[in-house]
């Protein structure tokens, strides 16, 4: 059984002006997401600035989210690391916090081989009982889970159940689904490819767009799952300009600015992320106005 179908939000981590995590605001945006049809919450991923959270902050954000959501929708915790022992530690803490699954990114910077990836994911999976979504985003990590590796893990490790696909390579993702033979769920890791990836069997998306347009992103997936392919495609096309604007600078810089433009007051970014270039901010505003989420 899938962890979820539809649109899971790769949620931002709101900060106070002094840079501390703003838990009151996190509660507000969790309610906003759930009240606007988001199908799952993914906490402490790339969009959540996990790489600049301390381990204590990381675990507390996961614990807070699991407690606050209280099983209204599935909660999936980002627990990946380029150190296998650290990924195991974070995953065990997430399990103690009561989440429904873990999102484990490929080891970044040290660029594991395919053999190393098998050992890494197997070790993390064996340390917990939770289902695991592998996260393959080679543009950020310098490490790519090849289709053969993904299929091997799906077939040989019981609680490796899904992959978040963010390679931008439709041929690779199609091969992954073919080799996995139904043993691996797929979620789009790119908001511009929700419908294309669902056409080869993806269950939905883990989405940045959902932060600012939760109902609309849910609807893209829901229409496809209902068999209303043309309607899903039209919604995908409508979102493309906004999606491009949300990635005109490195994520999550634009999406945090977008939420602040919407009056959500999610606070600043943590260094080394910084304020947007003025021209890109204007592009983002324009796309938000044209999409109908900003006046």
Residue numbers annotated as active site: 135, 164
DSSP-derived secondary structure letter, 247? T
Distance CA 29, CA 12 (A): 9
Beta partners for residue 206, in sequence order: 8
Helix (H, G, I), strand (E, B) or coil at 95: helix
**What does the block give as tokens for 25?**
């605001």
Distance CA 215, CA 194 (A): 15
Are the CB atoms for 47 and 252 separated by under 8 Å? yes
**What does the block give as tokens for 9?**
């939000």
Helix (H, G, I), strand (E, B) or coil at 290: helix
Distance CA 124, CA 127 (A): 5
**What is the CA 21 to chain-centroid distance, rounded?**
19
Helix (H, G, I), strand (E, B) or coil at 143: coil
**What does the block give as tokens for 38?**
């988001």
Are the CB atoms for 66 and 75 separated by under 8 Å? yes
């Amino acid at each position: 059984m899938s962890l979820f179908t539809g649109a899971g939000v790769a949620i931002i981590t709101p900060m106070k002006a002094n840079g501390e995590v703003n838990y009151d605001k996190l509660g507000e945006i969790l309610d906003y997401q759930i009240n606007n049809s988001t199908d799952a919450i993914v906490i402490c991923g790339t969009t959540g600035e996990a790489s600049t959270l301390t381990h204590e902050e990381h675990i507390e954000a996961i614990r807070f989210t699991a407690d606050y959501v209280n099983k209204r929708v599935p909660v999936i915790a980002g627990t990946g690391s380029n150190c296998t022992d650290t990924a195991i530690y974070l995953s065990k803490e997430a399990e103690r916090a009561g989440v429904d699954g873990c999102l484990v990114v490929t080891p970044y910077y040290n660029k594991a081989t395919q053999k190393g990836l098998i050992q890494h994911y197997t070790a993390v999976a064996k340390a917990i009982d939770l289902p695991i979504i592998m996260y393959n985003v080679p543009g950020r990590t310098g490490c790519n889970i090849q289709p053969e590796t993904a299929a091997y893990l799906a077939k040989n490790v019981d609680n490796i159940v899904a992959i978040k696909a963010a390679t931008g390579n439709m041929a690779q993702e199609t091969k992954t689904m073919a080799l996995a033979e139904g043993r691996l769920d797929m979620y789009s890791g790119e908001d511009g490819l929700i419908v294309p990836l669902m056409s080869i069997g993806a269950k939905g998306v883990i989405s940045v767009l959902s932060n600012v347009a939760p109902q609309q992103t849910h609807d893209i997936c829901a229409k496809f799952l209902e068999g209303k392919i043309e309607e899903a495609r039209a919604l995908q096309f409508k979102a493309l300009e906004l999606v491009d604007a949300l990635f005109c600078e490195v994520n999550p810089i634009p999406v945090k600015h977008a939420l602040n433009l919407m009056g959500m007051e999610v606070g600043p970014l943590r260094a080394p992320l910084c304020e947007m270039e003025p021209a890109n901010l204007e592009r983002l505003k324009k796309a938000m106005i044209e999409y109908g989420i900003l006046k």
